[in-house]
Amino acid sequence: MAAFCLFLAWSVALRQALLFLVGIGLGAVLAGARFGFTTGWRRLIEQRDPSGVLAQLVLLAIAAAVSMPLLAAYPTDLGAALGPPSISLIVGAFVFGACMQVADGCGSGTLYKAGLGIPLNMAILPLFAIGSFLGSATLDRWLALGALPPYGLVTHFGAPAALLLTLAGLALVGFGVVRWTGRAAPLWNRKLLWGAVLLAALAALNLVIAGQPWGIVYGFGLWAAKLASAAHLFDPSANAFWSEPVNAATLAQSVFLDVTSITNIGILAGALWIAAGKPAAAAQPMNGTQWAVGLIAGLLLGYSSRLAFGCNIGAMVSGISTGSLHGWIWVPMAFLGSLIGVRVRRRYAF
């Protein structure tokens, strides 16, 4: 990790080296605290345990409190994670929510669990990338079904009002979660709360250094797109998504210049760092049917995340914390999908 960081600083850019360090921090916190967005939702649904979801709300609140003033102060240097409200978003978020429960991981969960050496997530990671690429290649057809322009709260209301609206929305969700669970389980988990604080700080660092919010999915799709392009399996100039000037330039340059790819690699490294020196936990045996269902879910994770303009990180954490309306649409649709996903897990005895 030290050697790769020095390589980035010397041969690529100091910014990329710093982002790699941020990624290592993200991976270490995710793996060390076992801060799973998927698990938190599943425990809320199946056990009425609100601690994971409440920690996620704390993460969103802190990240918004830091990010929104920064976006207002530096509008030309920093960008929000904006996505268009669309049919694509609604369908993609619902499918993603279902599949992340079956695959036992969202974008960040797949990364850090692959870094920990969990077999299913290691196998899903390349399929996630392929699915993300396929989703990007067909995104224009989905958007043609109906889409509105992206809507940013900071742009329309200013940072103070946008932050107030966001915190009020998060408080309302938290109140609903606590009322629904009936305090059947402890409300707070100290390890998850510390994880939320550290993740929010690292996400803010990512915004400042990269100039854009923390993301996961774009890097996956880029990896598969570069391989497909190198193998002459598709023509980027003939594709609506990859022919856009920004995406075409990113596809043509070194993958080490892509900020999302660097943080993704850092997350893998950070999780591996946590796993190093510890005895490997025995993986629960899976039968052929479970493997098939899990791998299909992994492929659909990638496809649906591109349609939804992000996963739990890009759409929920970065979207909501930077004031994007699409993040508030993504969450309820993904949660509805998770209600289906936990039933599929039971059906196939995961």
Looking at residue 285, its pLDDT comes to 86
117 with 274: CB under 8 angstroms?
Answer: no
Closest to 43 in 3D by CA, of 210, 186, 168, 169: 186
For the ranges 178-182, 263-267, 287-291, the lowest mean pLDDT is seen at 178-182
Looking at residue 321, its pLDDT comes to 97
115 with 272: CB under 8 angstroms?
Answer: yes
Q: pLDDT digit string (tens) for 237-258?
A: 889 999 999 999 999 999 999 9
pLDDT greater than 70 at residue 200: yes
Residue type, 69: P
Looking at residue 277, its pLDDT comes to 67
- Residue written as token pair 């409200």: 85
pLDDT greater than 80 at residue 343: yes
pLDDT greater than 70 at residue 19: yes
Mean pLDDT across the stretch 210-235? 93
Looking at residue 280, its pLDDT comes to 61
Rounded to two decimals, the pTM is 0.94
Q: pLDDT digit string (tens) for 72-104?
A: 999 999 999 999 999 999 999 999 999 999 999
pLDDT greater than 70 at residue 120: yes
Torsion over CA: 315, 316, 322, 323 (sign): positive
In angstroms, how far is CA 114 from the centroid of its own chain? 15
User: How far apart are the C-alpha atoms of 19 and 264, rounded to whole Å?
Assistant: 10
Average pLDDT, the chain: 94
